[in-house]
């Protein structure tokens, strides 16, 4: 073994000697190769942080990640967007590596990850449902807060929504339709809306954006923040319908829908509730200290939350957390007991 090492060192020294005795051009090429390999090694030595997040967070969380990387050049953040329930299942069922999970519905973390795959949950932002469209959508000059459901039900109009079993925006579209039936006192309205155009149901709400912008759809159920971020037109719904107001929690809870549970064949009853986002650090994180550092940056009202609010999502920090005692000490400032 010692002989092999000695021979290797001698070989390297002889190669370097030959290069140094070569022409200036060859020495420059060699130096360039060395610098390239050094740069690659530096890149590979970066700490990696993997974040699963709701599709509706794609725009702000990308900006937040870029700001964090600027301040921490030794960190590389990998973002993976999907429906929030799908994100949770990738952790719980597929055991994929994940350092932070940010959900469009905090209850997804409570229902699918705690206690086996996560210990705690912090609520951080709110949103609201809207009917989103473009200037090219049929009847775009006629639709308003009072007739939107009549427009969606027209035979020549195509509308889309996301899958309730994969994405909170999907079951919120169902709940919004049921609340609209109650609010407008139109029996059977929800069934009429939900039976129509099921061929346009997609795994997450942001999957529908391309279809809308390419005029394959006229309207979609979508979060107001996403509509704002993509500069789309939208109809704001009454607070009795849009799942925005914490004051209407009891009223929202009068409607519900069934979605898939933790195990095949199981179901969960989702009642209407104010729209609140949540995040956690899974137990399986490979870099817990860096994950806590990023979450601290993300929840800071002068850093991550400032970017989130600029992109149409209001902060709800600090809010009550049923898992407050399990939250890391440095993060307790962002929650309430």
pLDDT digits (tens, 9 = 90+) for 235-266: 999 999 999 998 999 999 999 999 998 888 88
End-to-end CA distance of the chain: 62
Percentage of the chain surpassing pLDDT 90? 83
CB-neighbour burial class of residue 134 (10 A; exposed 0-12, middle 13-18, buried 19+): middle
β-strand pairing of 267-271 with 256-260: antiparallel
How far apart are the C-alpha atoms of 71 and 180, rounded to whole Å?
46
In the prediction, which pLDDT does 86 show? 94
Q: Is the pLDDT of residue 43 over 60?
A: no
Ranges 14-28, 83-97, 226-240, 253-267: which has the least confidence? 14-28
DSSP strands (E only) in 69-148? 75-82, 100-103, 122-126, 129-133
* Triad 13, 14, 20: Cα angle to 5°: 90
Ranges 18-22, 86-90, 176-180: which has the least confidence? 18-22
In the prediction, which pLDDT does 227 show? 96
In tens, the pLDDT along 142-197 reads 999 999 999 999 999 999 999 999 999 999 999 999 999 999 999 999 999 999 99
In tens, the pLDDT along 211-230 reads 999 999 999 999 999 999 99
Q: Is the pLDDT of residue 100 over 90?
A: yes
Q: Is the pLDDT of residue 275 over 50?
A: yes
How far apart are the C-alpha atoms of 223 and 206, rounded to whole Å?
10
CB-neighbour burial class of residue 20 (10 A; exposed 0-12, middle 13-18, buried 19+): exposed
In the prediction, which pLDDT does 22 show? 61
How far apart are the C-alpha atoms of 114 and 112, rounded to whole Å?
6
28: preceding bond cis by omega (within 30 degrees): no
Q: Is the pLDDT of residue 6 over 50?
A: no
* Triad 62, 335, 50: Cα angle to 5°: 30
Q: pLDDT confidence of 276, banded at 50, 70, 90?
A: very high
In tens, the pLDDT along 48-61 reads 999 999 999 999 99
């Amino acid at each position: 073994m010692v002989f092999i090492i000695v021979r290797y060192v001698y070989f390297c020294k002889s190669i370097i000697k030959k290069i140094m005795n070569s022409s200036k051009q060859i020495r420059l090429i060699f130096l360039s190769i060395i610098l390239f390999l050094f740069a690659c090694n530096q890149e590979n030595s970066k700490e990696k942080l993997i974040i699963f997040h709701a599709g509706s967070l794609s725009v702000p969380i990308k900006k937040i990640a870029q700001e964090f990387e600027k301040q921490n050049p030794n960190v590389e953040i990998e973002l993976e967007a999907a429906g929030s329930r799908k994100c949770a299942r990738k952790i719980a069922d597929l055991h994929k590596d994940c350092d932070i999970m940010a959900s469009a519905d905090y209850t997804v973390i409570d229902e699918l990850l705690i206690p086996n795959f996560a210990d705690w949950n912090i609520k951080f932002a709110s949103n609201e449902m809207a009917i989103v469209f473009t200037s090219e959508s049929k009847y775009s000059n006629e639709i308003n807060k009072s007739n939107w459901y009549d427009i969606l039900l027209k035979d020549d109009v195509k509308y889309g929504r996301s899958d309730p079993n994969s994405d909170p925006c999907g079951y919120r579209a169902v709940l919004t339709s049921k609340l609209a039936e109650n609010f407008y006192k139109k029996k059977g309205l929800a069934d009429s809306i939900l039976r129509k155009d099921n061929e346009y149901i997609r795994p997450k709400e942001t999957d529908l954006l391309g279809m809308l912008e390419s005029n394959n759809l006229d309207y979609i159920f979508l979060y107001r923040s996403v509509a704002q971020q993509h500069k789309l037109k939208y109809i704001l719904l009454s607070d009795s319908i849009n799942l925005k107001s914490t004051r209407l929690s009891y009223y929202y809870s009068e409607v519900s829908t069934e979605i898939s549970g933790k195990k095949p064949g199981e179901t969960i009853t989702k009642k209407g509730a104010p729209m609140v986002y949540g995040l956690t650090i899974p137990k399986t994180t490979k870099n817990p200290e860096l994950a806590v550092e990023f979450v601290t940056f993300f929840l800071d009202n002068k850093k991550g939350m400032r970017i989130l609010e600029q992109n149409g999502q209001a902060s709800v920090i600090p809010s009550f957390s049923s898992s407050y005692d399990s939250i890391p000490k440095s993060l307790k400032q962002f929650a309430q007991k």
